């Protein structure tokens, strides 16, 4: 597993996130509060072996295109601006969740970091019918690690934790130890469910409508350096040398 902290998009900030539903507004405030708490207690996270009295698991669940990754990365960017030394205690994991956690989770799995961000857990699955016993084992392993190491974790997934992932663990956990620990971790945090429309589809539809209304041809080539640039207020972003395909310059 590789720490993806250096690959965070700097444009993903709390200010840039535009909530369109009350639920999105709620999640935005919750993630801002987590970032504020991390900055406020940065020295404790940097010095103490286990800065938290109990482990905590925050879940961001909801359909694709609602800003789960944006909000998670906003935490990193907020910490980077206000307490950059704390970045050394953050581990951002993406991809191959089951492969990395199936055989067990230990301190070295996340380089002994005290703050773990896990993005798009089970993103490879399109429905709950695809889940297997190995997925439940991987989940149980990460939960056990968070509980015993008293680690803070923020996890994003398209699947609801309480309604989908927790029953999956319970199915293969006859003793109920992992389920009990998961509920305890959530009691110190929460599952936050994002609702709304896929912002990527909304953005694409708006761009299509703009292009059609102006009868502007679609092209991937850049405008020549000497091409005229439409003045501001004309309804179109300036396009010139160095502009990207999405219209940003």
Continuous H helices in the chain: 22-40, 42-47, 68-82, 97-101, 133-149, 166-171, 177-187, 199-213
CATH topology of domain 5-193: Rossmann fold (3.40.50)
pLDDT number for residue 118: 94
Q: How confident is the model at residue 242 (pLDDT cuts 50, 70, 90)?
A: very low
Give domain limits for the chain: 5-193
94: helix, coil or strand? strand
For residues 27 and 17, give the distance between their C-alpha atoms in angstroms, rounded to a whole number: 11
Question: 50 pLDDT exceeds 80?
Answer: no
For residues 245 and 232, give the distance between their C-alpha atoms in angstroms, rounded to a whole number: 19
pLDDT number for residue 245: 37
pLDDT tens digits along 163-207: 999 999 998 888 899 999 999 999 989 999 999 887 777 777 777
Sign of the four-CA dihedral 206, 27, 120, 133: negative
Q: Report the chain's mean pLDDT, rounded to a whole number.
A: 83
What pairs with residue 91 in β-bridges? 116
For residues 206 and 149, give the distance between their C-alpha atoms in angstroms, rounded to a whole number: 47
Specify the range with the lowest mean pLDDT, choosing from 87-91, 103-107, 187-191: 103-107
| Nearest residue to 182 via CA among 200, 198, 194, 164 | 164
| Nearest residue to 145 via CA among 175, 187, 102, 174 | 102
pLDDT number for residue 15: 96
The pTM assigned to this predicted structure is: 0.78
Sign of the four-CA dihedral 56, 18, 94, 162: positive
In the numeric block, which tokens belong to residue 12?
Answer: 């993903």
Question: 234 pLDDT exceeds 50?
Answer: no
For residues 128 and 169, give the distance between their C-alpha atoms in angstroms, rounded to a whole number: 13
pLDDT tens digits along 4-27: 999 999 999 999 999 989 999 999
Write the CA distances from 249 to 17, 47, 160, 178, 216, integer angstroms.
20, 42, 38, 50, 18
């Amino acid at each position: 597993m590789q720490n993806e902290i250096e690959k965070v998009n700097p444009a993903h900030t709390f200010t840039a996130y535009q909530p369109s539903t009350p639920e999105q507004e709620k999640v935005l405030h919750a993630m801002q509060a987590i970032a504020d708490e991390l900055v406020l207690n940065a020295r404790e996270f940097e010095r103490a072996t286990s800065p938290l009295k109990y482990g905590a698991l925050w879940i961001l669940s909801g359909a694709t295109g609602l800003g789960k990754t944006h909000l998670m990365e906003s935490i990193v960017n907020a910490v980077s601006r206000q307490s950059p030394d704390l970045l050394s205690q953050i581990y951002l994991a993406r991809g191959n969740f089951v492969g990395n956690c199936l055989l067990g989770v230990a301190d070295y799995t996340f380089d002994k970091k005290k703050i773990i961000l896990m993005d798009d857990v089970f993103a490879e699955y399109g429905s709950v019918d695809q889940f297997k016993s190995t997925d439940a084992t991987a989940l149980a392993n990460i939960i056990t690690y968070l509980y015993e190491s008293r680690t803070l974790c923020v996890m994003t997934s398209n699947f609801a934790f309480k309604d989908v992932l927790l029953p999956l663990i319970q199915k293969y956990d006859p003793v109920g130890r992992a389920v009990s620990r998961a509920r305890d971790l959530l009691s110190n945090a929460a599952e936050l469910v994002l609702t709304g429309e896929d912002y990527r589809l909304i953005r694409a539809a708006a761009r299509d409508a703009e292009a059609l209304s102006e009868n502007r041809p679609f092209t991937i080539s850049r405008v020549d350096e000497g091409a005229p640039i439409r003045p501001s207020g004309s309804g179109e972003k300036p396009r010139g040398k160095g502009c990207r395909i999405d219209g940003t310059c």
